[in-house]
C-alpha cells in the first residue's frame, strides 16, 4: 500500500471502491490468475476527496472475456472500443470503461500501435502524467509506480518519463499539460514539461482542430486558468492555439466576476474584439453553430458599447432589444474599468433587472397591423416596420397601447412618403 502524504483523502479510495457499480464490475471480472483495478482519473480524484464522474478500469482479461463475464453476471456490456481493448459496462445507467492492459509498440505523434499485455506497470508507463497513472486494486491497495501520489500532494503535474517523448507520442499532451496544471497544479508549471511543450509547439498544427477546441475550452474552466493562459501567452503558444495574444485582463474580469460563466463566454472575453475574430475562431477551432453565434453576439455587443461614450438607464431597453441582456452584461463585465463607455449605476441596475426577467423587448407592431390598415403585403410592410422600429428604439421601447398606435401611424406615414431612407 502506497503511504499517503498529508493533504490527500485517505478515505477517498474506500468510498470509490464502495460505489455499487464499481463493486458489481469488479465482482463480475474477478477470477483466478486475473486482476482488474480502477485506474487513472477516478483514483486521482478519490485521493483529492472528489467524486469521479469517469470510472475507468484496467484488466488483464481480454476484451471478449470481459464481455462474456459481464453478461454472465447480468451486466450490460457495450463494445465501445473493442478493437482497442475497451468495453463499457453499464450498471444502473452508469458507464464503467474497462480496458485490457496495453503496451506501446510504435507511436507517430497521433496514433499508437499497441498490443494487449498483463503488466500494470507497463500500462502505467503509457499514460501521460504521473497523477493519472495511479491504480487501485479491489482489496484497497493503491499502486503507484511513477511517483504520482507525491506529485498529487505537491500540486505538481509531471510527465511520465521523458516529457519530450511523451509529447511526440501524442501532441495533444502539450495542451493537456497546461489544462491539468490549471486544474491540479500549484505554483509554476513543471520546468521540464514546460520546456518540452514550448519546443514541441509546431506539433500543434498536426492536431485536429476539434481536439484542440475540446482541450482549450476545458482549460478555460479550470481553477487556475488565468495563470495557465498567462504562460501560454508569454511562451507564444496561445497565438498558435487561438491566433491572438489574448485579452487577459478581460478574461480575468469575466472569470472572477462571473465564476459560473461557461467556456465559450471566457473564450469570447479572451480572444474576441471584432466580428472578424469571432469568425476566425469559429473556423480555426471548429466551433459549433451555437458557440459561433455566442462569439458573434459578444463581438456585436462589444462594438456597440465601445462606440458609446456613456450608457445611462434610458438607453438600456433599446440595447437589450437589439442585443439581448446576456451579451451586454458579459461585455460590460469584461471591459469594466476601460475608458468607454462610462456606465451609470442606474444603467447597470436596469440591465440586471432585464436580465433577471429574461424578457427581450419586442416591437409591439406587426405586419398584420399594417395590412389591417390597408398596406398591401410586400416590401411596403417591411419598410413600415423598419420605420416603426427606429422610432420605438429611439423612444426606449414603449409597449403601451398609445405607443403602439403612434408607431403604426409613424409606419403608415413613412410608407406614404416612400421614405426608404428612414425606413
Determine the Cα–Cα distance for residues 384 and 376; give it in Å rounded to an integer: 11
Determine the Cα–Cα distance for residues 302 and 299; give it in Å rounded to an integer: 5
Going by C-alpha positions, the residue among 44, 24, 26, 89 that lies closest to residue 63 is: 89
Q: What is the mean pLDDT of the chain?
A: 93
pLDDT of the residue at 83: 85
For residue 135, how many other CB atoms are within 10 A of its CB? 24
pLDDT digits (tens, 9 = 90+) for 17-31: 999 999 999 999 999
pLDDT digits (tens, 9 = 90+) for 105-124: 665 544 556 678 899 999 99
Least confident of 113-117, 279-283, 318-322: 113-117
| Residue 125, pLDDT above cutoff 80 | yes
Residues 6+ apart with CB under 8 A from 27: 73
pLDDT of the residue at 106: 60
Q: For residues 42 and 12, is the Cβ–Cβ distance under 8 A?
A: no
DSSP of 8-47 = S-TTHHHHHHTSHHHHHHHHHH--TT--EEEETHHHHHHH
Domains and CATH numbers, the chain: 1-154 (3.30.460.10), 162-241 (1.10.110), 246-361 (no CATH), 367-417 (no CATH)
Q: Tally DSSP H helices, then E strands, for the chain.
A: 22, 11
| Residue 102, pLDDT above cutoff 90 | no
Going by C-alpha positions, the residue among 72, 56, 49, 45 that lies closest to residue 22 is: 56
φ, ψ for residue 230 (rounded to 5)?
-60, -45
Determine the Cα–Cα distance for residues 88 and 73; give it in Å rounded to an integer: 14
> Which stretches within 258-309 are classed as H helix?
263-271, 275-284, 289-306
pLDDT of the residue at 419: 57
pLDDT of the residue at 140: 96
Q: For residues 388 and 408, is the Cβ–Cβ distance under 8 A?
A: yes
pLDDT digits (tens, 9 = 90+) for 150-176: 999 999 999 999 999 999 999 999 999
Q: How confident is the model at residue 4 (pLDDT cuts 50, 70, 90)?
A: confident
Determine the Cα–Cα distance for residues 106 and 47; give it in Å rounded to an integer: 33
Report which secondary-structure segment, H or E, holds 179: helix 172-184
3-state secondary structure of 358: coil
For residue 102, what is its C-alpha cell?
496495453
pLDDT digits (tens, 9 = 90+) for 355-368: 998 889 999 999 99
Report which secondary-structure segment, H or E, holds 113: strand 112-116
Residues 6+ apart with CB under 8 A from 261: 254, 255, 330
Angle at 62 between CA 61 and CA 64, to 5 degrees: 120
pLDDT digits (tens, 9 = 90+) for 206-253: 999 999 999 999 999 999 999 999 999 999 999 999 999 999 999 999
For residue 22, what is its C-alpha cell?
464499481
DSSP of 353-408 = HHHHHT-----S--HHHHHHTTPPSSHHHHHHHHHHHHHHHHTT---SHHHHHHHH
**CA dihedral over 171, 174, 175, 179, signed as positive or negative:** positive
pLDDT digits (tens, 9 = 90+) for 73-98: 999 999 998 888 999 999 999 999 99
Q: How far is CA 158 from the centre of its chain?
A: 23
pLDDT of the residue at 84: 87
For residue 242, what is its C-alpha cell?
487561438
Amino acid at each position: 500500500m502506497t503511504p499517503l502524504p498529508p493533504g490527500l483523502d485517505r478515505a477517498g479510495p474506500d468510498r470509490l471502491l464502495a460505489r455499487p457499480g464499481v463493486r458489481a464490475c469488479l465482482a463480475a471480472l474477478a477470477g483466478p490468475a486475473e486482476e482488474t483495478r480502477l485506474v487513472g482519473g477516478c483514483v486521482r480524484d478519490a485521493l483529492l476527496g472528489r467524486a469521479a464522474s469517469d470510472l475507468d478500469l484496467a484488466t488483464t482479461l481480454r476484451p471478449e472475456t470481459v464481455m462474456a463475464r459481464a453478461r454472465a453476471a447480468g451486466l450490460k456490456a457495450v463494445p465501445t472500443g473493442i478493437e482497442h481493448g475497451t468495453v463499457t459496462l453499464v450498471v444502473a445507467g452508469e458507464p464503467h470503461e474497462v480496458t485490457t492492459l496495453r503496451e506501446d509498440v510504435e507511436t507517430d505523434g497521433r496514433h499508437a500501435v499497441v498490443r494487449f499485455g498483463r503488466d500494470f506497470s507497463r500500462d502505467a508507463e503509457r499514460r501521460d502524467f504521473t497523477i493519472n497513472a495511479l491504480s487501485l486494486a479491489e482489496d484497497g491497495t493503491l499502486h503507484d509506480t511513477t511517483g504520482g501520489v507525491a506529485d498529487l500532494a505537491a500540486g505538481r503535474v509531471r510527465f511520465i518519463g521523458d516529457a519530450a517523448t511523451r509529447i511526440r507520442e501524442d501532441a495533444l499532451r502539450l495542451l493537456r499539460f497546461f489544462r491539468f496544471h490549471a486544474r491540479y497544479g500549484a505554483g509554476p508549471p513543471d520546468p521540464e514539461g514546460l520546456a518540452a511543450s514550448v519546443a514541441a509547439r509546431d506539433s500543434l498544427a498536426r492536431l485536429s482542430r476539434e481536439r484542440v477546441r475540446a482541450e482549450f475550452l476545458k482549460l478555460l474552466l479550470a481553477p487556475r486558468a488565468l495563470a495557465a493562459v498567462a504562460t501560454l501567452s508569454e511562451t507564444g503558444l496561445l497565438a498558435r492555439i487561438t491566433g491572438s495574444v489574448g485579452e487577459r485582463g478581460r478574461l480575468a474580469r469575466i472569470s472572477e466576476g462571473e465564476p459560473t460563466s461557461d467556456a465559450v463566454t471566457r473564450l469570447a472575453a479572451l480572444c474576441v474584439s471584432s466580428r472578424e475574430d469571432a469568425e476566425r475562431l469559429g473556423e480555426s477551432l471548429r466551433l459549433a453553430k451555437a458557440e459561433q453565434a455566442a462569439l458573434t453576439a459578444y463581438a456585436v455587443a462589444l462594438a456597440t458599447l465601445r462606440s458609446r461614450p456613456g450608457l445611462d438607464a434610458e438607453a438600456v431597453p433599446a440595447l437589450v432589444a437589439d442585443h439581448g441582456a446576456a451579451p451586454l452584461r458579459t461585455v460590460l463585465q469584461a471591459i469594466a474599468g476601460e475608458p468607454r463607455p462610462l456606465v451609470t449605476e442606474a444603467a447597470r441596475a436596469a440591465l440586471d433587472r432585464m436580465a433577471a426577467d429574461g424578457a427581450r423587448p419586442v416591437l409591439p407592431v406587426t405586419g398584420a397591423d399594417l395590412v389591417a390598415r390597408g398596406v398591401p403585403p410586400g416590401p411596403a410592410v417591411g419598410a413600415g416596420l423598419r420605420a416603426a422600429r427606429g422610432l420605438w428604439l429611439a423612444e426606449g421601447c414603449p409597449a403601451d397601447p398609445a405607443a403602439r398606435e403612434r408607431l403604426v401611424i409613424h409606419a403608415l406615414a413613412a410608407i406614404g412618403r416612400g421614405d426608404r431612407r428612414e425606413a
